[in-house]
Chain A
Amino acid sequence: MSIFKRAFLYVTRKRGKTILLFAILLIMATFVLTGLSIWKASEAAQLDLRQSLGGKFDVFVDWSNSPYVVKEPVKDEVDEETGKTSSSFLMYSTVQFTPENITAIKGVSGVKYCSARQDNLLPFDGLSLFPGTISTDAKYQGYTKVLGVCNTEDDELFTTGTLTLAEGRHISDNDTHVAIISQDLAERNELKIGDYLTAHRYSVEDQGFTGPEIRVQIIGLFTPHAVEQFGETVTTYDKIQNRVFVDLQTSKEFDGGEINYGFSALHVTIDDPQDMARVVAEVKALPGIDWKAFTVEVDNETYENAAAPLATLNELVVTLLVVIIVVSAIILALILTLWTKTRIHEIGVFLSVGIRKSAIIGQYLIEVLLIAVLAFGLSYFTSNTIAGQIGNHLLEQSMQTEPEDDNDVVSVAASVEIGADNLVQKPLPTENGIQVSVGLDNFAQLYLIGLAIVIVAVSTSSITVMRLKPREILSKMS
């Protein structure tokens, strides 16, 4: 008689035991499957959250410690009203980031964007600006903020969707003497793509933009996601519609000197804030960047605050899952051991008719597996019912434990500012709750885990069989 036939006969004829074992395995599988699906959901929610938060760090000149920082006195200035003499200094680093550095950083895996800007406040000839809501120094009237970038596509204002390129193209690495302005500014000045703007090089003598003429061609127009709200204070040069993007080369020319040949600060955006430490380490290991000159500042607090409740939930679920698996294995092993002890006469008969011990244990394994396959199958339905409820309950709990933190996160996330540019923030995904459902992958995992548990339990319980020496058979049977 084959091992399968024997196992089948046992399972079908010993109905009481079969039903009991089925119930135990069903409960066990339901717990495991529920745990697995909640785990998956919480992992997915974490990933989702991380990716939507992203991560950011800044790399900038270490003004206080860098040996390359130079401080030069500029000619003294006499305040016309007070008559006081104020001496100002020009402070700069002789080591700066080059476009090559930016390209290298962008090549580090996990880095989404790396952007850098030179900024200047300068006037363009005949350009009519949108007036701000607060007045500025007379000197700065007619000035606007000009950002010199390697490419606009990577600039934070564009990557966050705060600005959108409405017409034309982005400024890219090889462009020179090009500009992107707002559509509003273009309309106000009746400018269109292909037209030129004119400004002048900075003159150290005159302390103003009075040097030779520099012409830039407009290659793109942007529209802002929103302009400043009514009642919000903003200077003319900070007003988003007055913003002008130019290429790095042009920016350097505006600047006039040889001093600012690159960038003194970089802004790096990464895909997954969990990777922060690794990405920073890899960036620091890049050749061609002299780290004596720069320092890194990581702001991962947003992520850490937002991820904390979910990470706690995740840890809880994993711990629970391990406990469930271990307890299941122990319970199953105990029950099977008890049952195997009652099967000692059967073992004696099998051994006496020449059935090997391995075949006897194999039969026990098949018996449990036959029942397990059915119980695991049914657990798909039971866990689907339970998983949704438990999952949402757990999530609610973990979110409720730190409600203030959670609000903080949202407000922090919504108010990240660069100058007066309010960056557009996407809503965090956890606000929509976790979707828990039992997937096929969980089902496959259950079968693997279940198989392991059953094998462990059957092996443990088979010690009775393994220990039985043939010479004990006769005495055990009377």
Chain B
Amino acid sequence: MTLISALIVLGVLALIFGSILGYAAIKYKVDADPLVDQIDEILPQTQCGQCGYPGCKPYAQAIADGDDINKCPPGGDNTIHKIADLTGREYTPLAGTESDDVAEEVKKVAYIREDECIGCTKCIQACPVDAIVGASKAMHTVITDECTGCDLCVDPCPVDCIDMLPLAQTTQSWKWQLDAIPVKQVH
């Protein structure tokens, strides 16, 4: 008798807790960020296509599908580490380099030598983030703030008037040098 009542009690308890858990699972369902979006978040969004895909999102998709994680040069080492952490895969140095201490590339932006531009609009068509303004047969120029430095506009330009210039450092972007002012007792 005791055995049966114990079983019944336990069974009822199990049912109650089970239904609570089941309800909670539905009610508080977490919309987990799909892996692709998470990877896309990590990628630098330069949209340069150097990874061999037509943009960062496709590459994120490809990584999720099992492609190598080391194909994005603009992201560099940091990005690879982050993706390795996220996907739980082995870190591999950037494709085409041996060690993981690749020199960090200076950030560049495109600059159009405006008096040489013939206004062919080819660069506009190439720019993945619409960072170039101009009209047919009129001078073109790059919106520096929007330019991701992807390089894609340089090649299509028939007159080679686009340069990739390193971004000028400002007091905002300056990274401190290591020089302390020591205060020591003099006497």
Please say whether chains A and B are actual partners in one complex. Answer: no
Q: Which residues of A contact B (CB under 8 A)?
A: none
